[in-house]
Amino acid sequence: MTTSQNRLALFPLSAQINANRLSIAGLDVQTLAKEYGTPLYLYDLAQLEDTAGQYQTTLRQTWQANWSITYAGKAFLTPAIARWAKAHNFVVDCTGAGEMGVAAHAGLGKENILAHGVNKSEEDLQAAIRYAGIIVADNLSELRRLARLRTPGETLPQIWLRLQPGMAVETHSYTQTGHEGSKFGMSEAQIMEAAQFCRQHDLPLTGIHFHQGSQFRDPSPLQPAIEKALDLAQELNLGADWHFSPGGGWGVAYHEEELPHPSVPEYLRFVTSLTQSGCRARNLPLPHLHLEPGRSLVARAGVAVYQVGTVKQAGTHTWLLVDGGMADNPRKALYGAKYSCLAVTQAAEEPQQTVSVAGPYCESGDVLIDEITLPPLQEGEYIAIPVSGAYHLSMASNYNGARRPAALLLEAGKAPQVIQNRETVADLLRGDTVP
Ligand SMILES: Cc1ncc(COP(=O)(O)O)c(C=O)c1O
């Protein structure tokens, strides 16, 4: 297999190389870059649909009771993505009042909104009461706030309690969430206390949730966490109609060395068979099972396109300086994430030159790729970085006055749909108080 074919496998399903040019959903990437400007984020609808279908089909085949998929909006949320989630009957996990506002604006009702977050403020809880069907309580302080905010006779969203399982999945320490001492969730003793509080204050406790981390590909650490959660469920006696969410976090391949992409059906079969046998062993009724994927649903669907502005020699080092970087993709600066890329109009060319790809921002850490071999690129050409759909735009900033990029949803045979407008200088001036 050639290097470019290997790299193409990281791209969305509809990506192709024809006559050396990269296309997605039948649309030429360079033409899109010229028309919409760069940095530009492209989302392939076919890839979104395929991964969503893998989640739905596998759950239909392997889970004998009710289930639902909760898309973790923190990975990437715009009104269009929220509407896409709703069209699949997915619930959207919203962290805080801001994400709930986006989901509600997109027309999602309570049945499609779940309120997450550690340290939910009064504003977050008020938004949750107004917009959400489920609140995942991270701690007792939130429950106390919720009980205070409740108006007499008001029906509250269902409450699930977030367990800190005390063990994490294997991933970067910054994306581990379930380990002992983590800021997320409650110990078993704290869960028991929170459950007692719910009962004393008539808060509708119906479920248990945990999340161990993000970007893992070995599901085995889920086993002890699921066992612990089922033990708790038994102790809490949540009734026949109880809910269980073992979170999300399933990983994707970001670089050709990490291929093949981790299998969604394999992950789900692991979760469903363990939960099923665990319930049987404890005489527990099968819960309504919720999976909470973010990255594995949207990461591979997204591609970031940049234009090369400067090719700079620095000693023995060749820098490709492009027009985006840590302001639209902070993952390399945050976690040392390793990316790959293709040259958009030399996509089938065998790479010959080792270069580093960096952005225009005033930080030496503003690097997108440390070292990669590429065909020789001229200033003005474009590169495309695959697996850019999750935790890029949702973590983007205005550092150095960067304006957040545009994002397009691509569907074969249709005109691209702008799902996020490129910001302008006017957006940077929104906060100005002087007329
Ligand atoms: C509570 C919770 N649920 C779901 C997710 C989604 O994880 P991922 O995008 O890795 O699937 C996260 C991410 O950190 C999370 O904290």
Residue 433 lies in a domain: no
Domains of the chain: total: 2
Span from the CA of 286 to the centroid of ligand 1 (angstroms) = 23
389 Cβ below 6 A of ligand 1: no
Rounded distance from Cα 296 to ligand 1 centre (Å): 10
Cβ-contact 299, 252 below 8 angstroms: yes
- Quick check: CB of 247 below 6 Å from ligand 1? yes
pLDDT at 110: 98
* DSSP helix/strand/coil, 241: coil
* Residue to mutate (ligand 1; options 214, 215, 291, 334; most atoms within 8 A of CB): 214
141 and 275 within one domain: yes
> Residue 338 phi/psi, 5° resolution?
-105, 120
Q: Does ligand 1 have an atom closer than 6 angstroms to the CB of 213? A: no
Residues 137 and 284 in one domain: yes
- Domain boundary among the residues 298, 327, 352 is at 298
pLDDT value at residue 61 = 98
For the chain, give the mean pLDDT. Answer: 96
Which residue's CA is minimally distant from atom 13 of ligand 1?
214
Nearest to 159 by CA among 127, 96, 206: 206
CA of 103 to the centre of ligand 1 (A): 17
The answer to whether residues 296 and 48 touch, using CB atoms and an 8 Å cutoff, is no
207 lines ligand 1 (CB under 6 A): no
Q: Tell me the whole-structure pTM to 2 decimals.
A: 0.96
> 231 burial class (0-12, 13-18, 19+ CB within 10 angstroms)?
middle
Q: For residue 418, what is the domain's CATH number?
A: 2.40.37.10
Catalytic residue among 94, 198, 341, 362: 362
Domain ranges, residue 172: 46-298
3-state secondary structure (DSSP) of residue 247? coil
Task: Read off the pLDDT of residues 288-320 as tens digits, 9 standing for 90 and up.
Answer: 999 999 999 999 999 999 999 999 999 999 999
Which residues 6+ apart lie within 8 Å of 227 measured at CB? Answer: 274, 278
The CA 294 to ligand 1 mean position distance, Å, reads 6
Which residues 6+ apart lie within 8 Å of 386 measured at CB? 7, 10, 11, 12, 15, 254, 300, 303, 339, 340, 341, 342
What is the residue with the minimal CA distance to atom 16 of ligand 1?
211
* Three-point CA angle 105, 109, 110, nearest 5°: 125
Indicate whether 136 and 224 sit together in one domain.
Answer: yes
- Asked if residue 107 and residue 177 are part of one domain, the reply reads yes
Residue 434 included in any domain: no
Q: Which residues of 338-373 are buried (b: 16+ CB within 10 A; e: fewer)?
A: ebbbbbbbbbbbebeeebbbbbbbeeeebbbbeebe
Does 202 lie in the same domain as 63?
Answer: yes
Residue to mutate, 292, 335, 394, 395, ligand 1, most ligand atoms under 8 Å from C-beta: 292
Extended strands (E) in 13-169: 16-18, 21-24, 27-28, 40-44, 67-72, 91-95, 113-116, 134-137, 158-162
CA–CA dist 324, 304 (Å, integer): 9
* Cβ contact 140:120 at 8 Å: no
Containing 289, the helix (H) or strand (E) segment is strand 288-291
Report pLDDT for 129. Answer: 98
- Measured between alpha carbons, how far is 14 from 64 in angstroms, rounded to an integer? 33
Residues 171 and 313 in one domain: no
Mutate to test the pocket of ligand 1, among 70, 169, 179, 211 (most ligand atoms within 8 A of CB): 211
- Is residue 89 located within the same domain as residue 68? yes
- The C-alpha atoms of residue 13 and residue 252 are separated, in whole angstroms, by 14
Give me the residue label for tokens 């005109």. 415
Strand partners, 67: 289
- 255 and 237: one domain? yes
Q: The CATH number of the domain where 104 resides is what?
A: 3.20.20.10
Ligand 1: atom nearest CA of 299 is: 9
Residue listed under structure tokens 């691509």: 410
pLDDT of residue 182: 85
Task: Identify the domain boundary among 271, 298, 325.
Answer: 298
435 part of a folded domain: no
Distance CA 66, CA 60 (A): 9
Distance between Cα 292 and ligand 1 center (Å): 7
279 and 359 part of one domain: no
Q: Taking the alpha carbons of 140, 144, 147, 150 in that order, is the dihedral positive or negative?
A: negative
The answer to whether the CB of 293 is under 6 A from ligand 1 is: yes
Per residue of the chain (435 residues), give pLDDT as tens: 889 999 999 999 999 999 999 999 999 999 999 999 999 999 999 999 999 999 999 999 999 999 999 999 999 999 999 999 999 999 999 999 999 999 999 999 999 999 999 999 999 999 999 999 999 999 999 999 999 999 988 999 999 999 999 876 576 677 666 777 889 999 999 999 999 999 999 999 999 999 988 899 999 989 999 999 999 999 999 999 999 999 999 999 999 999 999 999 999 999 999 999 999 999 999 999 999 999 999 999 999 999 999 999 999 999 999 999 999 999 999 999 999 999 999 999 999 999 999 999 999 999 999 999 999 999 999 999 999 999 999 999 999 999 999 999 999 999 999 999 999 999 999 989 887
On whether residue 80 sits in a domain, the answer given is yes
> Tokens 């609140």 sit at which residue?
135
Q: Looking at 251, 268, 298, which one is the last position of a domain?
A: 298
Residue nearest to atom 8 of ligand 1 (CA): 249
Residue 96 Cβ contacting ligand 1 at under 6 Å: no
Distance (angstroms) between ligand 1 centre and the Cα of 145 equals: 24
Q: Cα 261–357–416 angle (5° rounding)?
A: 60
What are the Cα distances from residue 54, in Å, to 57, 116, 266, 378, 386?
5, 25, 10, 40, 20
106 shares its domain with 130: yes
Distance (Å) from CA 350 to ligand 1 centroid: 37
State whether the beta carbon of 93 lies less than 6 angstroms from ligand 1: yes
**Are residues 191 and 317 part of one domain?**
no
Cα–Cα distance for residue pair 204/192, rounded to 1 Å:
15
| ∠ CA 20-21-27, rounded to 5° | 155
- Structure confidence at residue 427 (pLDDT): 97
Ligand 1 atom with least separation from CA of 294:
9
Q: Which residue from 243, 60, 80, 259 is spatially nearest to 162, judged by alpha carbons?
A: 243
Please indicate whether residue 362 is annotated as part of the active site. yes
Q: Looking at the structure, do residues 24 and 51 belong to the same domain, yes or no?
A: no
Nearest to 145 by CA among 132, 128, 131: 128
pLDDT value of position 172: 67
pLDDT the model gives residue 201 = 96
